A and B are shown apart, each in its own frame.
Chain A
Amino acid sequence: MIVFKTFLKVLNKNKGIILLYTLILLIFAYFNMENGETTTNFYAEKTDIYILLEDENIGLTKNLVDYLKSVSLVKEIKEEKLEDALFYRDVSMIIKIPKNYRIDTLNGINREIEIQSTGDYTASLEKMLLEKYLRIQKIYLNEQLEETKVIEQINETLNKKVTVELTSTLDRSSLSKAKLYFNFSNYAILAGLVFVICLMLTIFKEEKIKKRTLVSSLNYKKYNRILFLSNGLFTIILWLLYVLLGFVLIGKTMLSYHGLFFMINSFIFSMCALSIALLIGNVSQNKEALSGIVNVVALGSSFLCGAFVPMEFLPKSVVKISHVLPSYWFIKNNDLISNLEQISLKEVHPIITNFAILIGFIIIFSIGTNLISKKKLKQS
């Protein structure tokens, strides 16, 4: 009980750091919750654009603007902020309709629409849609039709719709929200847990305290066991806190089998983080170096394994290297779970395999910790 009480005392002293990482997790989760409408139907992706209209908004010009409004998300931005909006991807394309565009086009003069784009895939989609419209307009204009007739024909042609069937009934939006949350928890768990547990260990292993414990009547094995169990209890409490936070932020999805898998995955990972913490705590006894080590471990694994930048955006070489880190398997599992269509052996098998790999990491780290602590005990 003495060991556990001391543990709680030290924990209480360091509640600030746990709150800090929880706060970071909350802020991050909040920013990801912004575009979270529930959907199980197909909807076309729309590009964010800005229309710089220099022509009078009538006739052909108005029809073009209306078309753009129907296929894209037109944003209202101050003109002096346009350059920034493009750079920061607030809009993917700025479409400038020049002065006298309508009159000149009707008179057969070729007036080009001016675009500024980010060159990403949404901009490519917008360009495709714009070119399609302008081509149809040109064809009808070449047929010497009147303006109103041209507009009518364009709209009639563009009115042809195609049926799109969505095979999956998964609520992708909510699942990707959950995936993002648990992916980011990789950082929060690693940073929070490893920092606090290492700090505990360094405090308990301070030269004077360690010597006093060694000569006391307390059985050394029992002391170690209580320390381990206290750390384990702290791990479970922190994991529960993050899961509860998940329930608040993600909601209903957490009650489905997806939620259950997410919880199991994060639990195994928390245990893995505990084993990492115990290993680091045994290797390094330097309190000052601790925050450096923790930051390198937590930030490193989070950046390299896709907790901040999705794995599909990482270079192949980085993904290959990240296979040696437990975070990779945790994040990969989050991805698999978010795509889980049904509970079948075929779909669940890779998830279970990744669980096993994570447990393998726990075993390796635990063996490492034991070997090091044995060596250190002999030395002392």
Chain B
Amino acid sequence: MFWHNFKYTLKNLLKNKPLIFWTFAFPLILGNLFFLAFQDIEKKEQLEIFNIAIVEKEKTDHTQILKNAYMTFSEGESELFHIEYVSQEKAEDLLSDKEIIGYVILSENPKVVVSKNGIEETILKTVTESIVEEISLATTIQKEKIIDGLSKPEFDGNIEFLKIQVQKEVEEILKNTTVSLKDNSPTNLSYTMVEFYTLIAMTCLYGGMLTMTSINNNLANMCSTGKRIAVAPTKKRNVIFSSVLASFLVQLLGLALLFIYTIFVLNVDYGNKIFFIFLLSILGSLAGVALGCIIATLLKTNENTKIGILLAVTMSGSFFSGMMGITMKYQIDKNIPIINYLNPANMITDGLYSLYYYQTNTKFYFNVISLLIFSALLIILSIEELRRQKYDSI
């Protein structure tokens, strides 16, 4: 009886087109969309070289120094922008046509003209400020050095010579003073990975629909097959267990398809801890099965309402675990962590995230245990509900 029911549950599930669409095809479609929409997003968040213009309104002592200073930002490794030297009218036209992000009017006090607020505009302002500060810095040091030089016994009375000497010295100082920062930035910072993790979580929980459908087929209050099974002289334990096993298998098939597709077609790099990822995904699917079981058994309502509730639980879980924007997961984790401690979608997403980002596996094991407890609790409750069900009439 066990294998008989197992075989027919498998057949039934695989022939149910809408069910197969939602558990097999929909995650793949969503994966494709994520891939297309997010593949460049992180690259484009890095600073790109932009265009600016410089307008020489009046020639001052500083004009050439200023021009040289801007040049240092438009070449070499630290290139920030391309410069065009134009008249003010031309600069205004370029700005209104969005060809440049802003222009600088060179004068005693340089002025920056931009059309909007933004990061590139702020960088242009910061660079200009740095240049002005550099000139001020040079002037201050020169002054100090000249005063110093005047009071030295070896000073021969030639102030012009001293000035030139000091100027050269200061130029050397400015040129040769560099600073370095110790950059300890982590390498695994791709947040689009979390989107794929939420997709895995959603697929695991969507699998609950398969379990729910197969259990519904065995319930006397749901369909005529269920009524016939209820009066059949067979152990209900075997029937239910074989149905759940068959749906778990179909669910794992869907999950395997998602992994194969994302790894080989979309080239998603899950890192080198693939065994742990599979383990967590299988446990996630178990949680999906448990969720399907509890909704199928505990709620005494029609199939559509049950599907609606399962979808609502899955989608809200995915939402809180960051599917519609990863910031949501962070905000919930930070401000209302209890929601995500109880959220099976987050247990899966967070487990995968901790494998990807953290050096230690503590958080991963925490999520594994959470999933086990969640699944066990729901399955025990479902068994309690299903045991010794009898109907006098139905």
Contact = CB atoms under 8 A, between A and B. Distances in A.
User: Do A and B form a real pair?
Assistant: yes
Interface of A: 28, 31, 39, 42-45, 81, 83-90, 112-122, 124-125, 127-132, 134-136, 138-139, 142-143, 153, 156-158, 160-168, 170, 172, 288-289, 292, 295-296, 299-300, 303-304, 308-309, 312-315, 318, 341
Which of B29, B173, B179 has its CB near the most chain A CB atoms (within 10 A)?
B179
B72 interface: no
B18 A42 contact: no
Given A130-B181, A132-B133, A292-B22, A125 B122 contact: yes
A166 B327 contact: no
Contact of A42 (B25, B26, B121): B121
A221 B45 CA distance: 55
Nearest to B16: A288
DSSP majority for the B interface? helix
B119 A45 contact: yes
Minimum-distance CB pairs A-B, first 7: A88-B330, A303-B33, A120-B45, A112-B182, A45-B122, A134-B179, A121-B47
Contacts of A163: 109, 111-112
A139 B122 contact: no
Contacts of B118: 45
B140 A132 contact: no
A315 B112 contact: no
DSSP majority for the A interface? helix
B44 A313 contact: yes
Nearest to A168: B115
B174 A114 contact: no
B321 to A, nearest CB: 12
A160 B141 contact: no
Which of A157, A161, A170 has its CB near the most chain B CB atoms (within 10 A)?
A157
A98 to B, nearest CB: 9
Contacts of A83: 186, 357-358
Contacts of A121: 45-47, 119
A234 to B, nearest CB: 23
A315 B29 contact: no
Given A45-B118, A125-B119, A165-B114, A312 B44 contact: yes
Contacts of B357: 83, 87
A233 B226 CA distance: 45
B191 interface: yes
25 contacts: A42-B121, A44-B125, A44-B126, A84-B330, A84-B333, A88-B326, A118-B185, A118-B189, A120-B46, A121-B46, A131-B181, A142-B173, A157-B140, A164-B113, A167-B92, A167-B95, A167-B96, A288-B17, A292-B25, A295-B26, A299-B29, A303-B33, A313-B44, A315-B40, A341-B96
Contacts of A299: 29-30, 33
Given A116-B183, A121-B47, A289-B17, 10 more contacts: A31-B325, A125-B119, A134-B181, A153-B140, A161-B129, A162-B132, A167-B92, A292-B25, A299-B33, A300-B29
A160 B132 contact: yes
B121 A119 contact: no
B158 interface: no
A131 B130 CA distance: 11
B327 A164 contact: no
A354 to B, nearest CB: 18
Which of A114, A292, A341 has its CB near the most chain B CB atoms (within 10 A)?
A292
Contacts of A170: 116
Contacts of A88: 191, 326-327, 329-330
B39 A315 contact: yes
Contacts, number: 201
A128 B130 CA distance: 10
B117 A172 contact: yes
A332 B157 CA distance: 71
Which of B17, B111, B114, B133 has its CB near the most chain A CB atoms (within 10 A)?
B133
Given A45-B117, A157-B136, A115 B128 contact: no
Interface in B250-267: none
B117 A162 contact: no
B140 A309 contact: no
B123 interface: yes
Nearest to B34: A303
A77 B130 CA distance: 30
Contacts of A85: 330
B123 A165 contact: no
A162 B46 contact: no
Nearest to A158: B133
Given A113-B182, A168-B116, A125 B177 contact: no
B137 interface: yes
Given A292-B22, A303-B36, A309-B38, A116 B186 contact: yes
Contacts of B174: 139
A163 B326 CA distance: 38
Contact of B179 (A81, A138, A143): A138
Contacts of A314: 36-37, 40
Interface string B1-34: 0000000000000000110011001100110011
Contacts of B41: 309, 313
Interface string B356-384: 01100000000000000000000000000
B389 interface: no
Contacts of A295: 26
B388 interface: no
A160 B109 CA distance: 10
Given A44-B122, A118-B189, A129-B126, A112 B181 contact: yes
Contacts of B36: 303-304, 314-315, 318
Interface in B220-278: none
A45 B47 CA distance: 14
A127 B114 contact: no
Contacts of A134: 179, 181
Contact of A162 (B110, B185, B326): B110
A295 B22 CA distance: 11
B178 interface: yes
Nearest to B92: A167
Contacts of B115: 166-168
A187 to B, nearest CB: 11
B38 A156 contact: no
Nearest to A115: B181
A86 to B, nearest CB: 7
Nearest to A290: B18
B334 interface: yes
A124 B111 contact: no
B96 to A, nearest CB: 8
Contact of A292 (B18, B46, B327): B18
B79 interface: no
